[in-house]
């Protein structure tokens, strides 16, 4: 995880972060009117950007997505205490993309994410789902902690919203962008190639990747089960919408705290690396 701090030593990565934040904010704001949960989330095709740009620009995309989402809340009129968790969730969305690519064992293509093979597409879809699940769990946990909305309902909305955008729009976008960024030497691995990043053993990579893939999905599924089986919340999105002030589950708070701590631990365990497919190790 060292690279999320080391990148601030590189002016090019800082500039990329600013550009990504501006692009993400600009892509989010026009859809603020397509509301799903008033004041908290809306239809967001721009959710394709964290995962896609994460594979291109690594930690710059993680910071850019987090900052861009916060700015869109501020300028779009939806800034609230829940925006803190939106910041964390969007950071994770891009972070997990570049951390998992090439590290999913038999699910990995062993190739650059150029989206010119079915194996790359399959790997991208898996990572998109993990990213969506983790982002949804972090944000829904935060809103439940604040007593605003139940985890089980809000997490489902965000997961579907993020996953559909990334899985549908992401592959053609990467197909267009990745070869051009690679040829121009504008990938994060090109920028950070000379930074003194510590080496990470293959075993540690596998362990951290397993944790970063399993914990978000487990958090989402566990939170949904708690909501349905323990809290008695019907599965799905209520036809009449979600009433604010219906969160505050102690069990969801405790389960989420353990899951969030596990995510942080596996992120720290990951150290710093570039996927072997990028030719930098």
65/68 Cα distance (integer angstroms): 5
For the ranges 12-16, 26-30, 202-206, the lowest mean pLDDT is seen at 202-206
- Please give the tally of structural domains in the chain: 1
pLDDT at residue 275 above 80? no
Residue 213: both structure tokens together: 């893939």
Average pLDDT, the chain: 87
pLDDT, tens digit (0-9, with 9 covering 90-100), for 124-142: 999 999 999 999 999 999 9
Residue 150 CA, distance from chain mean position: 21
Q: What is the value of pTM for the model shown? A: 0.90
Element (H, E) at 214: helix 202-225
pLDDT, average across residues 259-268: 95
236 neighbors 156 (Cβ within 8 angstroms)? yes
Rg (CA), the chain: 18
pLDDT, average across residues 14-21: 96
Q: Of 134, 153, 166, 123, which Cα lies nearest the Cα of 41?
A: 153
pLDDT, tens digit (0-9, with 9 covering 90-100), for 26-47: 998 886 655 565 545 656 788 9
**Residue 148 pLDDT level (bands cut at 50, 70, 90):** confident
- Range(s) of the domain holding residue 118: 3-278
């Amino acid at each position: 995880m060292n690279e999320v701090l080391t990148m601030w030593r590189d002016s090019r990565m800082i500039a990329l972060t600013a550009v990504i934040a501006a692009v993400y904010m600009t892509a989010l704001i026009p859809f603020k009117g397509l509301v799903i949960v008033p004041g908290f989330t809306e239809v967001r095709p721009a959710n394709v950007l964290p995962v896609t740009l994460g594979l291109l620009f690594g930690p710059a995309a993680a910071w850019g997505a987090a900052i861009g989402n916060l700015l869109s809340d501020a300028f779009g009129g939806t800034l609230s205490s829940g925006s803190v968790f939106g910041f964390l969730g969007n950071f994770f969305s891009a972070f997990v993309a570049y951390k998992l690519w090439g590290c999913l064992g038999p699910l990995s293509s062993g190739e650059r994410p150029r989206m010119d093979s079915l194996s790359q597409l399959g790997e991208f879809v898996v990572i998109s789902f993990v990213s969506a699940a983790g982002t949804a769990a972090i944000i829904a946990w935060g809103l439940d902690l604040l007593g605003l909305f139940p985890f089980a309902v809000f997490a489902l909305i965000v997961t579907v919203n993020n996953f559909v955008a990334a899985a549908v729009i992401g592959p053609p976008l990467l197909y267009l962008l990745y070869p051009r960024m690679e040829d121009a030497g504008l990938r994060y691995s090109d920028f950070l190639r000379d930074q003194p990043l510590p080496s990470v053993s293959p075993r540690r990579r596998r362990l951290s990747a397993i944790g970063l893939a399993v914990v978000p999905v487990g958090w989402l599924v566990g939170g949904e089960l708690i909501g349905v089986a323990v809290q008695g919340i019907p599965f799905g999105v209520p036809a009449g919408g979600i009433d604010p002030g219906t969160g505050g589950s102690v069990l969801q708070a405790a389960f989420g705290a353990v899951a969030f701590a596990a995510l942080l631990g596996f992120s720290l365990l990951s150290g710093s690396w570039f996927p072997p497919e990028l030719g930098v190790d």
